[in-house]
């Protein structure tokens, strides 16, 4: 391939044209050239025919014309007598006078007649061209064929059937990266090593440059060959390959996701999951803000459509907030904004088609409560809960007993004015890193093992210093080396400090908040009676 700026003069005006427009303009130009050329040739032919008509008349009266010329004292007198005597035009008279005497006597009648007939044929042909667009187009073709014959050369490339299937995706390295999406829908891809690890309690570094009214809302890790299933709050699903996401710097805004998938302007992203194989025998479990859950087989999403598909029917006033991949035999934990949680087997929710509503997952008992997250129970992991004012804690999944879905659940974090309401709940392991982002775009990456494992009914410890009028907007787990090959920092405080131009984060100046590790009494637990199915 090669690039070309198709700049041309069109009727004296410089214009940059598209290829088709250039062709059309060239054809119109050739039409004008042919019409002008034909009109010019017609004028010349008619002028010659006029002179030949004078010659023919002169041949009939040759002796008289010779006598008049010889008897005239000058050219003007001879011309006047010829015009008066034989009704010649001035042009014809001048043409006759321009001939020498021996030419007059030597004129051959047959030669003049033959030339005159040819001129008449040309005149008729020229007039037919000026009167017919079809003839003009035919002349354009003939001119182009002539140019091709004179200047063309044989084609130097051959277009043949491919010897083997070729996929451009094979040329793209399969490597780990971080996907970041803002509340306004800007998405970007950055290498995992862009963010250095720090000790908990620090202020972090700028992770994304956002507008005043925007803030970072989603952040997760993937590899470049993965699929990203984009779920909206209205319950629609869209497909995207990770390598199709544009790469950006640590502080860049990225690109509007609506330019990458065919989302409508009123749709907001509820969640994204990365999938390596859409044909895998797995399920997608979805949860809404009002506590409804629905399980659908992954195969239902195996046929990407440009306009997206319905993943769940969402009630009016509700919205989809969490989506997870499950094996079909997992247990899940749902956590609410007011610190409640419920654990139940995913088998309690039967498989349904895409365009269905689902069943009740948890009953919301407290005022202004809402589901903020759903996680798959992992025996090798613990449940991390983070509050809006920068506090968090890890709790073993064993502390959450299995209940029937639909109940009100048990306390997972005490919410007070000190720590605020719960904003995130994640399943994490000791060798993971944690990415915490605020609404103002500040980011901190810390090792999960720096966060203590404590009881359920506690307030947690400080993870990040939150300034006034700021709050935690999103929390994400950075996968361990075994999972995505991401390189760990050398130490917690020293990695990348020089390149970032900042000193290593200092130890907490304040003593750690003492966590109350005593579990709440049974009477403090909310009712866990099974709720009615809302299919």
pLDDT classification of 107: cutoffs 50, 70, 90: low
Percent of the chain with pLDDT over 90: 34
pLDDT classification of 211: cutoffs 50, 70, 90: low
* pLDDT per position as a tens digit, 259-287: 888 888 788 888 888 888 888 888 999 99
What value does the mean pLDDT take over residues 94-111? 73
Q: Give the pLDDT confidence score for residue 163 in this predicted structure.
A: 65
Q: Give the pLDDT confidence score for residue 38 in this predicted structure.
A: 95
pLDDT of residue 119 exceeding 50, the answer is yes
Which tokens go with 453?
A: 């494992």
What value does the mean pLDDT take over residues 24-37? 93
How many CB atoms lie under 10 A from the CB of residue 97? 17
Phi, psi angle pair for 101, to nearest 5°: -60, -40
Q: Give the pLDDT confidence score for residue 165 in this predicted structure.
A: 66
Which of residues 423 and 104 earns the better pLDDT score?
423
Contact 218, 321 (CB under 8 A): no
Q: Give the pLDDT confidence score for residue 208 in this predicted structure.
A: 53
What value does the mean pLDDT take over residues 296-321? 89
Q: Give the pLDDT confidence score for residue 361 in this predicted structure.
A: 93
Name, of 102-106, 165-169, 377-381, the range with top average pLDDT.
377-381
pLDDT of residue 488 exceeding 70, the answer is no
pLDDT of residue 442 exceeding 50, the answer is yes
Q: Give the pLDDT confidence score for residue 468 in this predicted structure.
A: 75
Q: Give the pLDDT confidence score for residue 202 in this predicted structure.
A: 63
As to burial, measured by CB atoms within 10 angstroms (0-12 exposed, 13-18 middle, 19+ buried), residue 120 is middle
pLDDT classification of 236: cutoffs 50, 70, 90: very high
How many residues would you count in the chain?
535
Phi, psi angle pair for 102, to nearest 5°: -70, -25
- Mean of pLDDT over the chain: 81
pLDDT of residue 332 exceeding 90, the answer is yes
pTM of the model: 0.54
CA–CA distance, 413 with 456 (Å, rounded to integer): 6
Which tokens go with 310?
A: 């319905």
Which residues does 94 contact at the CB level (< 8 Å), separation at least 6? 79
What interhelical angle do 62-71 and 75-86 show, nearest 10? 150
Q: Give the pLDDT confidence score for residue 505 in this predicted structure.
A: 39
* pLDDT per position as a tens digit, 134-157: 999 999 999 999 999 999 888 888
pLDDT of residue 174 exceeding 90, the answer is no
- What single string gives the DSSP state of each residue in 21-85? HHHHHHHHHHHHHHHHHHHHHHHHHHHHHHHHHHHHHHHHTHHHHHHHHHH-SSHHHHHHHHHHH
pLDDT of residue 341 exceeding 90, the answer is yes
pLDDT of residue 310 exceeding 50, the answer is yes
Q: Give the pLDDT confidence score for residue 479 in this predicted structure.
A: 52
pLDDT of residue 514 exceeding 50, the answer is no
């Amino acid at each position: 391939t090669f690039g070309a700026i198709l700049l041309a003069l069109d009727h004296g005006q410089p214009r940059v044209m598209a290829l088709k427009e250039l062709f059309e303009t060239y054809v119109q130009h050739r039409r004008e050239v042919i019409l002008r050329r034909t009109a010019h040739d017609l004028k010349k032919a008619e002028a010659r025919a006029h002179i030949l008509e004078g010659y023919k008349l002169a041949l009939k009266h040759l002796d008289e014309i010779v006598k008049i010329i010889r008897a005239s004292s000058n050219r003007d007198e001879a011309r006047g007598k010829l015009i008066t005597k034989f009704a010649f035009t001035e042009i014809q008279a001048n043409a006759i006078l321009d001939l020498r005497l021996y030419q007059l006597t030597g004129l051959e009648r047959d030669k003049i007649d033959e030339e005159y007939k040819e001129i008449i044929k040309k005149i008729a042909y020229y007039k037919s061209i000026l009167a017919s667009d079809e003839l003009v187009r035919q002349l354009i073709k003939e001119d182009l064929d002539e140019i091709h014959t004179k200047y063309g050369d044989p084609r130097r490339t051959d277009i043949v059937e491919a010897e083997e299937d070729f996929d451009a995706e094979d040329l793209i390295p399969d490597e780990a990266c971080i996907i970041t999406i803002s509340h306004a829908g800007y998405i970007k891809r950055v290498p995992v090593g862009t963010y250095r690890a720090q000790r908990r309690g620090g202020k972090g570094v700028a992770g994304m440059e956002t507008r005043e009214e925007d803030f970072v809302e989603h952040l997760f890790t993937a590899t470049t060959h993965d699929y990203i299933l984009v779920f909206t709050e209205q319950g629609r699903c869209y497909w995207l390959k990770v390598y199709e996401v544009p790469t950006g710097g640590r502080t860049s805004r990225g690109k509007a996701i609506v330019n990458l998938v065919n989302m409508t302007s009123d749709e907001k992203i509820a969640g994204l999951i990365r999938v390596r194989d859409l044909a895998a025998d797995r399920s997608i479990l979805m949860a809404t803000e009002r506590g409804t859950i629905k399980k659908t087989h992954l195969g239902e999403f195996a046929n990407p459509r440009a306009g997206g598909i319905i993943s769940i029917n969402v009630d009016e006033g509700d919205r989809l907030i969490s989506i997870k991949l499950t094996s079909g035999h997992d247990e899940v934990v749902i956590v609410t904004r007011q610190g409640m949680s419920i654990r139940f087997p995913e088998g309690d929710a039967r498989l349904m088609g895409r365009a269905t509503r689902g069943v009740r997952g948890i009953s919301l008992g407290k005022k202004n409560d809402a589901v903020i997250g759903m996680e798959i129970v992992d025996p090798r992991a613990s449940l991390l809960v983070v509050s809006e004012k920068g506090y968090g804690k890890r709790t073993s999944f064993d502390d959450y007993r299995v209940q029937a879905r639909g109940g009100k659940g048990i306390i997972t974090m005490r919410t007070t004015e000190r720590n605020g309401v719960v904003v995130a709940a994640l399943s994490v392991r000791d060798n993971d890193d944690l990415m915490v982002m605020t609404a103002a775009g500040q980011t901190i990456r810390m090792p999960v093992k720096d966060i203590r494992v404590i009881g359920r009914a506690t307030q947690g410890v400080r993870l990040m210093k939150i300034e006034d009028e700021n709050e935690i907007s999103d929390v994400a787990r950075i996968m361990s080396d075994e999972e995505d090959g991401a390189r760990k920092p050398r130490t917690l405080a020293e990695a990348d400090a020089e390149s970032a131009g900042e000193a290593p984060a200092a130890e907490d100046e304040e003593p750690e908040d003492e966590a109350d590790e005593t579990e709440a009494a049974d009477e403090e637990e909310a009712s866990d009676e099974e709720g009615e199915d809302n299919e």
